[in-house]
Structure formats: C-alpha cells, structure tokens
Chains A and B, each alone.
Chain A
Amino acid sequence: MEILLGFLTGLFWGYIFQRARILRFEKHIGLLTLKDFTILKFLLSGVIVGSFGVNLLAQFGIISYAIKPTYLLANLLGGIIYGLGWALLGYCPGTTGGALAEGALDGFFGLLGGLTGAIVFAHTYDFWKEKVLTIGALGKTTIPSLIGVSPALAGLIFSLLLIGFCLFLEKKGL
C-alpha cells in the first residue's frame, strides 16, 4: 500500500513536471540567472494552494502537520551548498530522474552524484550533528507561532501575498 501510493503520487507528479517544463536544465538555469521564472512560478503556485489548503484542513483536524525542525546554521549552510550544486547540475533531487526519463542523459550522472552525496553525508552526519545541528536549534518552529496568529489565518494571508507576487511578476512581463 505504501509503495503503491508513493508510486502513484510520483507518476502524477512526473507527468505534471514534464508538461510544465520543470525538468528542463534551461528553466533551472534561467531562474538562477534571473531570466526565466518558470520554476519559481511553479513552486509558488504549489505553495499558494498548499499553504491555504494544508492550514485550513489542519484547523479542522482532518490532517496533521509534519514540521521539519529548525536548525538555523544547518538550514542556511545546507541550503547554500544545495544552491551551488543546483547551479552546476540544473536539476533538483526530485526532477533529476524525470529529466533522465525525458532524455537528458546528464541526469544519470546527477543521480550517481546524488547517491554518492547521500553516502558521504551518512558518514559525516555525526560531525554535523555535534558541531552544527546544535547551533540555532529552535525545534519545530512555525511562522504563525512566532508572530502569534492562527495557522489557518497565516496560511490564507501568505497565499494572498504570493498571489500578489505572481501578479507582479506577470505585470513586469517576467
């Protein structure tokens, strides 16, 4: 059941990725060189629906959250390392396999690199855990809890802000 659900979810997602051009090297590099905002528009519209829907459904107790804990330094440093790799590879962990399936054979080397990166991380995890994951460890912190509003309201406001940002991008012709 678990495997089947994961597979089906991936099947839909891969189809969406391909149709919306999210697998393309050009689109990722276009975003990082601030010329083509396809990937950002895709991500933000996902978050517009997600932020509104997830927080509303959680409010009614239909779903629960799975918040990733905050580790200020590890989040930022890991994010930056990711960004350097992103500029080199031009795909992301979720889309590399899809890019390969669309015919981008360099994705194969990206996958090999990714698996190697995972192995090396597993062997260096204890170092990071001891030295870096202790810095700015704030637990499962959310923006609504920091500013003291209900998650459902914050989710709605955040969705509206992102809609405004997307309208701005379109108005500027980006």
Chain B
Amino acid sequence: MNKGWSPYLGGFLTGILLIVSVVVTQKFLGKPHYLGTSTAYVRVAGLLEKAVNQGSEALSYYQKYQPRVDWKVALVFFGVPLGAFLAAVKNGEFYAHLIPARWKESFGPRPALRAFTAFLGGFLIVYGARLAGGCPSGHGLSGMSQLSLSGFITVAGFFIGGIPLALILYRRRK
C-alpha cells in the first residue's frame, strides 16, 4: 500500500475543482454551484419519505429543498463513491471491513457497537449541518473561500464540538 498523494496536492486540486465547477455551472446551468454535500441528504430523504409517507412533501423544509435528484445528489451519492471506488481498485486499496483499526484500538471488535455509533454519528453530522446550513464542504471549503462569516462560525463549531469529544472517546486504548 503506497502513501497516496500529499494532502496539499489533493486540496490544491479540490480548489481548482471548486473554481472550475463554479465557472462551468454558472455558464451552463445559469447559476453557480459551489461544492457542498449535506443538502443532497435532504433531497434523498425527501424522496424516501415521499415513498412511504404521502403528504410529507407539504413540510416546509421539503418545499425549500424539493425532493429530487439534483446536481448535488448526483455528486454525493453517485460521483464521489464511484470516483473513490475507481481510485481504490486502481491502486489495490479496496479493503472491505466493518470496523476501522483506530476504532478497534479504543472500543474493541464489537460490530453492533460500531454500527450504532456510525448511525448516531451520521445522524448528528447531517442534522447539525442542516441546522448550521452546511458541512465542511459547503461552509468550510465553499463558505470560507467566499469569505462568508457563516462559514467561519460554523467551522469553529465543528471543532468546538468534535475535539473535546474525540479526545475523551479515543483516549482509552484496549
């Protein structure tokens, strides 16, 4: 397994991707699409809920973000996984596992515990991102690039919440 790219190279290419994406979407789609991911969850959630709970479309949040497959859904749920899969396979790094090694070091090999905490963590990141109005892509990369005040406050919140909990959780080693 090689070491992969420097994070600086990956970040640089991401910055270029952001700019190209904004220029291209502004030209071809009529308005700029800055990189962001968490609203994709709302669109898909709306589609799923609509299938089982008719009338859910009336919720004001689904009116604001109408359930449909849009640019971000294509990006988050199709593009990113396929790109990551191709990169992993091409470099011989696809490795199926349920429990990350670092998690196991602190919490052991119990699958149910990891599945539950991953679910709870996923719940909180999307719930929190929607309350804040964005995630590390929307508020972090795109927001801070536009020097938006909301981006800086939200990113500070990510670390205010994340660092103390991580220091407590991962301090112990089994």
Contact = CB atoms under 8 A, between A and B. Distances in A.
A69 B148 CA distance: 8
B46 A142 contact: no
B16 to A, nearest CB: 6
B137 A94 contact: yes
Interface in A68-116: 68-72, 74-116
B6 A48 contact: no
Contacts of B126: 85, 93, 113-115, 117-118, 121
B146 A54 contact: yes
Contacts of B77: 97
A20 to B, nearest CB: 3
A136 B80 CA distance: 35
B98 A98 contact: no
Contact of A102 (B25, B28, B95, B136): B95
B157 A83 contact: yes
B144 A47 contact: yes
Contact of A77 (B11, B29, B59, B131): B131
Contact of B122 (A25, A49, A85, A125): A85
Size bracket, chain A contacts:
35 or more
Main secondary structure of the interface of B (DSSP, over half): helix
A2 to B, nearest CB: 5
Contact of B23 (A24, A63, A81): A63
A110 B119 contact: yes
Given A19-B5, A20-B7, A50-B142, A84 B149 contact: no
Interface string A147-173: 000010011001000000010000000
A41 to B, nearest CB: 4
Interface in A14-35: 14-26, 29-30, 32-34
A170 B158 CA distance: 23
A84 B154 CA distance: 13
A133 to B, nearest CB: 9
Contact of B157 (A8, A82, A141): A82
Contacts of A49: 11-12, 14-16, 18-19
Contacts of A44: 11
Interface string A36-69: 0011011111111111011101000011111111
A6 B72 contact: yes
B117 A88 contact: yes
Interface in B33-78: 33-35, 37-38, 40-42, 44-46, 48-49, 56, 59-62, 64, 69-78
Contacts of A142: 146-149
Interface of A: 1-26, 29-30, 32-34, 38-39, 41-51, 53-55, 57, 62-72, 74-123, 125-126, 128-129, 132, 138, 140-144, 146, 151, 154-155, 158, 166
